[in-house]
Every structure is written in C-alpha cells, then in structure tokens.
Amino acid sequence: MSKKLVLSELQHASAVGIVCGACGCRHLSVYRTVNQENKIIRYRKCRHCGKTMTSVERVIRK
C-alpha cells in the first residue's frame, strides 16, 4: 500500500488543479480522451499509486 503524501502549508496556498484522492499526488497522466458534442472526458491515472479518475470538461461556444 502507498504512503499518503502530505502537502506543506505553502503548497496548499497555491494549489491549483487535480489531486489524487487516494494519495494526494498531483502527477496524473491522461491515458484516454473522449470528445463528445459539448464535453471532453479525460481518464487520468496517478503515477504514485495507480488509482484512476475521470474529469469532465464542458466546451463553451460563443
């Protein structure tokens, strides 16, 4: 089992982006992307613990 990573106070202050819920790692690689009509689905995998997660991005057209 992986050891949970802990961010320092300074890292929390400037934290932006996706964080692994299992170990706290910020190094996530995209291994699959699906484009749909008005959204993009990205499947990500943590480099530290291997847990997978999904992010959904909305496409805004003007």
Q: In what order do the strands lie in the sheet with 28-35?
A: 28-35, 39-46, 52-58
Q: Between 4 and 51, whose confidence is greater?
A: 51
Whole-model pTM?
0.67
Q: What is the fold of 9-58?
A: N-terminal domain of TfIIb (2.20.25)
In angstroms, how far is CA 34 from the centroid of its own chain?
A: 16
pLDDT in tens, 5-39: 565 555 555 556 888 888 888 889 999 999 988 89
Domain boundaries of the chain, sorted by first residue: 9-58
Is the separation of the CB atoms in 45 and 55 below 8 Å? no
Query: Helices marked H in the chain — which ranges?
Result: 9-13
Structure tokens at 26: 């910020």
User: What pLDDT is recorded for position 5?
Assistant: 58
